[in-house]
Chains A and B, each alone.
Chain A
Amino acid sequence: DGGITQSPKYLFRKEGQNVTLSCEQNLNHDAMYWYRQDPGQGLRLIYYSQIVNDFQKGDIAEGYSVSREKKESFPLTVTSAQKNPTAFYLCASSADRVQPQHFGDGTRLSIL
Protein backbone atom coordinates (compact mmCIF):
# COMPACT_ATOMS: atom_id res chain seq x y z
CA ASP A 1 0.00 0.00 0.00
CA GLY A 2 1.18 3.52 -0.77
CA GLY A 3 1.64 5.93 2.07
CA ILE A 4 3.88 8.00 4.28
CA THR A 5 6.00 6.51 7.02
CA GLN A 6 7.32 8.60 9.86
CA SER A 7 9.78 7.27 12.41
CA PRO A 8 10.25 7.03 15.24
CA LYS A 9 6.79 7.38 16.76
CA TYR A 10 8.26 8.78 20.00
CA LEU A 11 11.60 10.54 20.41
CA PHE A 12 13.38 12.05 23.37
CA ARG A 13 16.02 14.72 23.07
CA LYS A 14 18.67 15.67 25.57
CA GLU A 15 19.74 19.26 26.04
CA GLY A 16 22.21 20.37 23.37
CA GLN A 17 21.46 17.39 21.14
CA ASN A 18 20.39 17.38 17.51
CA VAL A 19 17.80 14.77 16.52
CA THR A 20 16.53 13.72 13.11
CA LEU A 21 12.96 12.71 12.28
CA SER A 22 12.48 10.44 9.30
CA CYS A 23 9.78 10.81 6.63
CA GLU A 24 9.50 8.45 3.66
CA GLN A 25 6.75 8.29 1.04
CA ASN A 26 6.07 5.82 -1.76
CA LEU A 27 3.27 7.81 -3.38
CA ASN A 28 5.57 9.28 -6.04
CA HIS A 29 4.61 12.76 -4.81
CA ASP A 30 6.73 15.76 -5.75
CA ALA A 31 5.82 17.96 -2.77
CA MET A 32 6.61 17.22 0.87
CA TYR A 33 5.97 19.20 4.04
CA TRP A 34 6.86 19.31 7.73
CA TYR A 35 4.44 20.69 10.32
CA ARG A 36 4.63 21.24 14.04
CA GLN A 37 1.55 20.96 16.25
CA ASP A 38 1.45 22.03 19.88
CA PRO A 39 -1.34 20.84 22.21
CA GLY A 40 -4.68 22.43 21.33
CA GLN A 41 -3.14 24.36 18.45
CA GLY A 42 -3.26 24.21 14.67
CA LEU A 43 -0.55 23.05 12.27
CA ARG A 44 2.40 25.36 11.69
CA LEU A 45 4.57 24.91 8.60
CA ILE A 46 8.27 24.36 9.27
CA TYR A 47 9.68 23.57 5.80
CA TYR A 48 8.34 22.42 2.46
CA SER A 49 9.82 21.07 -0.73
CA GLN A 50 8.17 21.08 -4.13
CA ILE A 51 10.92 19.21 -5.95
CA VAL A 52 14.05 17.19 -5.24
CA ASN A 53 17.09 19.24 -4.15
CA ASP A 54 14.96 22.29 -3.39
CA PHE A 55 13.13 23.39 -0.24
CA GLN A 56 11.75 26.56 1.30
CA LYS A 57 11.33 27.84 4.83
CA GLY A 58 7.87 27.88 6.31
CA ASP A 59 6.60 30.06 9.14
CA ILE A 60 8.72 28.59 11.96
CA ALA A 61 11.96 27.32 10.35
CA GLU A 62 14.35 28.65 13.00
CA GLY A 63 16.10 25.82 14.84
CA TYR A 64 15.21 23.25 12.17
CA SER A 65 16.92 21.97 9.02
CA VAL A 66 15.88 19.65 6.18
CA SER A 67 17.27 17.97 3.09
CA ARG A 68 15.60 16.59 -0.04
CA GLU A 69 18.19 14.44 -1.77
CA LYS A 70 15.66 11.84 -2.91
CA LYS A 71 12.07 12.23 -4.06
CA GLU A 72 10.76 9.80 -1.46
CA SER A 73 12.63 11.16 1.57
CA PHE A 74 12.41 14.44 3.50
CA PRO A 75 14.15 14.17 6.90
CA LEU A 76 13.82 16.93 9.50
CA THR A 77 16.60 17.74 11.96
CA VAL A 78 15.67 19.50 15.18
CA THR A 79 18.82 21.30 16.23
CA SER A 80 19.94 22.38 19.69
CA ALA A 81 19.04 25.94 18.61
CA GLN A 82 15.36 25.00 18.86
CA LYS A 83 14.82 25.76 22.54
CA ASN A 84 11.28 24.45 22.84
CA PRO A 85 11.11 21.36 20.63
CA THR A 86 8.44 19.43 22.53
CA ALA A 87 5.59 18.97 20.05
CA PHE A 88 3.84 16.61 17.63
CA TYR A 89 5.63 16.65 14.25
CA LEU A 90 3.71 15.76 11.10
CA CYS A 91 5.09 15.03 7.65
CA ALA A 92 2.86 15.26 4.59
CA SER A 93 3.13 14.91 0.84
CA SER A 94 1.06 15.89 -2.18
CA ALA A 95 1.31 15.46 -5.94
CA ASP A 96 1.55 19.24 -6.20
CA ARG A 97 0.37 22.28 -4.26
CA VAL A 98 -3.19 22.11 -5.61
CA GLN A 99 -3.67 18.47 -4.65
CA PRO A 100 -4.69 17.12 -1.21
CA GLN A 101 -2.00 16.27 1.31
CA HIS A 102 -1.44 12.81 2.72
CA PHE A 103 -0.11 12.71 6.28
CA GLY A 104 2.11 10.31 8.17
CA ASP A 105 1.19 9.16 11.68
CA GLY A 106 3.49 11.73 13.29
CA THR A 107 6.41 11.78 15.71
CA ARG A 108 6.08 13.00 19.30
CA LEU A 109 9.25 14.71 20.46
CA SER A 110 9.96 15.45 24.11
CA ILE A 111 12.90 16.85 26.04
CA LEU A 112 14.54 14.68 28.68
Chain B
Amino acid sequence: QKEVEQNSGPLSVPEGAIASLNCTYSDRGSQSFFWYRQYSGKSPELIMFIYSNGDKEDGRFTAQLNKASQYVSLLIRDSQPSDSATYLCEADNQGGKLIFGQGTELSVKP
Protein backbone atom coordinates (compact mmCIF):
# COMPACT_ATOMS: atom_id res chain seq x y z
CA GLN B 1 0.00 0.00 0.00
CA LYS B 2 1.36 3.40 -0.96
CA GLU B 3 1.63 5.92 1.85
CA VAL B 4 -0.34 8.55 -0.07
CA GLU B 5 -2.66 7.43 -2.87
CA GLN B 6 -4.49 9.39 -5.52
CA ASN B 7 -6.43 8.36 -8.59
CA SER B 8 -4.16 9.16 -11.53
CA GLY B 9 -7.03 10.22 -13.75
CA PRO B 10 -7.35 11.94 -16.05
CA LEU B 11 -10.43 13.50 -14.48
CA SER B 12 -12.44 15.42 -17.02
CA VAL B 13 -15.12 17.95 -16.02
CA PRO B 14 -17.02 20.57 -18.03
CA GLU B 15 -16.36 24.24 -17.44
CA GLY B 16 -18.38 25.57 -14.50
CA ALA B 17 -18.74 22.17 -12.82
CA ILE B 18 -17.30 21.05 -9.47
CA ALA B 19 -14.10 19.01 -9.69
CA SER B 20 -13.52 16.59 -6.82
CA LEU B 21 -10.01 15.28 -6.20
CA ASN B 22 -9.42 12.57 -3.63
CA CYS B 23 -6.47 11.34 -1.60
CA THR B 24 -6.02 8.63 1.03
CA TYR B 25 -3.07 8.19 3.38
CA SER B 26 -1.84 5.24 5.41
CA ASP B 27 -0.04 6.84 8.41
CA ARG B 28 -2.57 7.49 11.19
CA GLY B 29 -0.07 9.88 12.78
CA SER B 30 -0.11 12.26 9.80
CA GLN B 31 -1.03 15.78 10.88
CA SER B 32 -0.40 18.05 7.91
CA PHE B 33 -1.93 17.83 4.47
CA PHE B 34 -1.22 19.89 1.40
CA TRP B 35 -2.60 20.26 -2.11
CA TYR B 36 -0.33 21.52 -4.88
CA ARG B 37 -1.12 22.34 -8.50
CA GLN B 38 1.46 21.57 -11.18
CA TYR B 39 1.13 22.81 -14.74
CA SER B 40 2.93 20.80 -17.40
CA GLY B 41 6.64 21.53 -17.35
CA LYS B 42 6.42 23.76 -14.28
CA SER B 43 7.13 23.32 -10.59
CA PRO B 44 4.32 22.65 -8.07
CA GLU B 45 2.60 25.56 -6.35
CA LEU B 46 0.66 25.41 -3.09
CA ILE B 47 -3.13 25.58 -3.39
CA MET B 48 -4.37 24.66 0.09
CA PHE B 49 -3.19 23.20 3.36
CA ILE B 50 -5.29 21.68 6.16
CA TYR B 51 -4.42 20.42 9.61
CA SER B 52 -7.80 19.87 11.32
CA ASN B 53 -10.79 17.68 10.59
CA GLY B 54 -13.51 19.35 8.58
CA ASP B 55 -13.59 21.81 5.70
CA LYS B 56 -11.35 24.73 4.84
CA GLU B 57 -12.41 27.14 2.12
CA ASP B 58 -10.34 29.59 0.08
CA GLY B 59 -12.13 31.19 -2.85
CA ARG B 60 -13.20 28.47 -5.29
CA PHE B 61 -11.18 25.82 -3.43
CA THR B 62 -12.30 23.71 -0.46
CA ALA B 63 -10.08 21.18 1.29
CA GLN B 64 -11.79 18.48 3.34
CA LEU B 65 -10.07 16.29 5.94
CA ASN B 66 -11.44 13.19 7.64
CA LYS B 67 -8.76 11.70 9.90
CA ALA B 68 -10.94 8.78 11.00
CA SER B 69 -11.22 7.64 7.39
CA GLN B 70 -7.69 8.83 6.52
CA TYR B 71 -9.08 10.76 3.62
CA VAL B 72 -8.43 14.26 2.29
CA SER B 73 -10.08 15.87 -0.71
CA LEU B 74 -9.96 19.04 -2.77
CA LEU B 75 -13.07 20.53 -4.35
CA ILE B 76 -12.80 23.12 -7.10
CA ARG B 77 -16.04 25.01 -7.70
CA ASP B 78 -16.86 26.74 -11.00
CA SER B 79 -13.98 24.93 -12.71
CA GLN B 80 -12.17 26.89 -15.40
CA PRO B 81 -9.97 25.68 -18.30
CA SER B 82 -7.08 27.36 -16.48
CA ASP B 83 -7.57 24.84 -13.65
CA SER B 84 -6.42 22.07 -16.02
CA ALA B 85 -3.26 20.72 -14.36
CA THR B 86 -2.00 17.87 -12.22
CA TYR B 87 -2.99 18.12 -8.56
CA LEU B 88 -0.63 16.64 -5.98
CA CYS B 89 -1.66 15.57 -2.49
CA GLU B 90 1.02 15.56 0.22
CA ALA B 91 1.04 14.38 3.84
CA ASP B 92 3.65 14.26 6.58
CA ASN B 93 4.55 10.97 8.24
CA GLN B 94 5.86 10.08 11.67
CA GLY B 95 9.30 9.51 10.18
CA GLY B 96 9.67 13.22 9.53
CA LYS B 97 9.15 13.06 5.78
CA LEU B 98 6.61 14.73 3.55
CA ILE B 99 5.09 12.17 1.17
CA PHE B 100 3.53 13.00 -2.21
CA GLY B 101 0.86 11.04 -3.98
CA GLN B 102 1.25 10.30 -7.68
CA GLY B 103 -0.99 13.19 -8.65
CA THR B 104 -4.37 13.45 -10.41
CA GLU B 105 -4.55 15.02 -13.85
CA LEU B 106 -7.54 17.34 -14.20
CA SER B 107 -8.90 18.47 -17.55
CA VAL B 108 -11.59 21.18 -17.66
CA LYS B 109 -13.37 21.25 -21.01
CA PRO B 110 -14.78 24.56 -22.31
Interchain residue pairs A-B with the least CB separation, the first 10: A42-B102, A103-B43, A98-B32, A43-B100, A100-B46, A42-B103, A106-B43, A100-B49, A97-B92, A103-B44
CA distance A94 to B43 in the complex (A): 15
In the complex, how many residue pairs between chain A and chain B have their CB atoms under 8 Å apart?
50
Decide if A101 touches B98 in the complex (CB within 8 Å).
yes
Q: Number of contact residues on B: which range applies?
A: 20 to 34
Residues of A near B44 (CB, < 8 A) are 43, 90, 101, 103
The answer, yes or no, to whether B74 is at the interface (CB within 8 Å) is no
Q: Check B97 against A48 for contact (C-beta < 8 Å).
A: yes
B43 contacts which chain A residues (CB < 8 A)? 90, 103-106
- Give the complex CA separation of A7 and B78 in angstroms: 37
A61 beta carbon closer than 8 Å to chain B? no
The answer for the CA separation of A100 and B104 in the assembled complex, in Å, is 19
Complex Cα spacing A102 to B90, Å? 13
Q: Interface on B for A, CB 8 Å cutoff?
A: 31-32, 34, 36, 42-46, 49, 51, 88, 90, 92, 96-103
Indicate with 1 or 0, residue by residue over A87-111, a CB within 8 angstroms of chain B CB atoms.
0001000100111111111100000
A17 to B28, CA, bound (A): 43
| A58 contacts across to B, CB distance below 8 A | 97
Closest to A33 in B: B98
- A48 closest partner in B (C-beta): B97
10 residue pairs A–B, Cβ–Cβ below 8 Å = A42-B100, A42-B103, A58-B97, A94-B98, A97-B97, A97-B98, A101-B36, A101-B44, A103-B44, A105-B42
* A41 sits at the interface (CB 8 A): yes
Interface centre among B45, B98, B99 (most CB of A within 10 A): B98
